[in-house]
Amino acid sequence: AVCSMGNSTSRLYSALAKTLSSSAVSQHQDCLEELDSARLDPIDPKDLLEECQIVLQKRPPRFQRDFVDLKKNADSNHRPIRVMQWNILAQALGEGKDNFVQCPMEALKWEERKCLILEEILAYKPDILCLQEVDHYFDTFQPLLSRLGYQCTFFPKPWSPCLDVEQNNGPDGCALFFLKDRFELINSANIRLTAMKLKTNQVAIAQTLKCNETGRLFCIAVTHLKARTGWERFRSAQGCDLLQNLKSITQGAKIPLIICGDFNAEPTEEVYREFSNSSLNLNSAYKLLSPDGQSEPPYTTWKIRPSGECRHTLDYIWYSQHALNVNSALDLLTEEQIGPNRLPSFNYPSDHLSLVCDFSFNQDPDRLL
């Protein structure tokens, strides 16, 4: 059905289409870092979701994913904090470098793919959103998510591979968003990761927030480590550097910590063991979905490239297990849902699955490591 030129279309223009042009972005990127969101009208999330669905009406519907209840103890006395982790696939890489041989180029069109990404975010309503491979921050995510009530931070890679792609939209990087009505920003650090004393192309954002409801402090971090086989020692060094920074920021885990990231590392890698065995007393939230609570999911990314099929577990949400409880976690897509052509697809906008967890503070705030 063709949508009429009524209210829906005018709302579509006001929310999705009325964002900053790419030329404005490239010319004024520095001053756009802190756009005054007070000047932008708030958006009702339901209206934006409706607009996305109008754009996506010729695509198949979203996959159904359910939350798995993981609560062991009595209910917390505060609303859970929902955290979403997602490598959304940089547009320049999806179209220009990643060679998803089974994914039609039509499925990667930004005007529709951005609506699939937004639809996923709007469906799960995270209080905190951690994204990697964001190359449309200034013209899409910052303008729209700030109008949904999020405070937004972006830290691009110094030498983003997106810049090698013709007609790119600027560098990709990590982005962190939190709802301003739930949290107050206490401290923010943009970290350029080092490895073997060398500054690298990988980054992290770490922010200390105060939960308005409980008054409790916690630190949320987002990162994206070096990709590809053969770089295991490099990733390990980057992980060590990030942990050292986070030990300082959290005063040695006195402040609870949540770390979201695409680590580009299977659980067998050294960097995974570093996080598992850190003095910060971290656990990986998605292990709790396994029957024994000890195994990571079988995959968080699944794609087909010219070299063959790639099915790996690379994405994680780590948390301070002494201070935080995982109330629930969003189950992964099944192989049947993903389909034989794998990801991305007309159904799903990225080659990585989103991870979503609900956290609550431990009821004994003084109990440390």
Question: Which of these, 358, 297, 316, lies nearest to 221 by C-alpha position?
Answer: 316
pLDDT above 70 for 155: yes
Question: Looking at the domain assignment, is residue 177 inside a domain?
Answer: yes
Question: Looking at the domain assignment, is residue 40 inside a domain?
Answer: no
Share of the chain above pLDDT 90, in %: 79
pLDDT above 50 for 6: no
**Can you give the CATH number for the domain in which 138 is found?**
3.60.10.10
Question: Looking at the domain assignment, is residue 12 inside a domain?
Answer: no
- Least confident piece of the model among 172-176, 251-255, 285-289: 251-255
Question: Looking at the domain assignment, is residue 130 inside a domain?
Answer: yes
pLDDT band at 14 (very low <50, low <70, confident <90, very high): low
pLDDT band at 351 (very low <50, low <70, confident <90, very high): very high
Quote the pLDDT of residue 77. Answer: 81
Quote the pLDDT of residue 74. Answer: 56
Backbone torsions φ then ψ of 159, nearest 5 degrees? -125, 70
Q: How far apart are CA 130 and CA 133, in angstroms?
A: 11
Determine the angle formed by the axes of helices 45-55 and 110-124, rounding to 10 degrees.
140
Q: How many domains does the chain have?
A: 1
CA 195, 262, 138, 185 torsion-angle sign = negative
Confidence (pTM): 0.91
Question: Looking at the domain assignment, is residue 5 inside a domain?
Answer: no
Look up residue 28 and give its two tokens. Answer: 């004024």
Could you report the per-residue pLDDT of 19-69, keeping only the tens digit for each? Answer: 544 444 444 444 444 455 446 789 999 999 999 999 999 999 989 999 999
Residues 240, 274 contacting (CB under 8 angstroms): yes
Backbone torsions φ then ψ of 14, nearest 5 degrees? -70, -35
Residues 259, 290 contacting (CB under 8 angstroms): no
pLDDT band at 98 (very low <50, low <70, confident <90, very high): confident
Question: Looking at the domain assignment, is residue 135 inside a domain?
Answer: yes
Range of the domain at 130: 81-329+347-362
Question: Looking at the domain assignment, is residue 153 inside a domain?
Answer: yes
Question: Looking at the domain assignment, is residue 336 inside a domain?
Answer: no
Q: What sections of the chain are H helices per DSSP?
A: 7-12, 22-27, 29-32, 45-55, 91-96, 110-124, 142-147, 232-249, 270-276, 335-338
79 vs 2 pLDDT, higher one: 79
pLDDT band at 76 (very low <50, low <70, confident <90, very high): confident
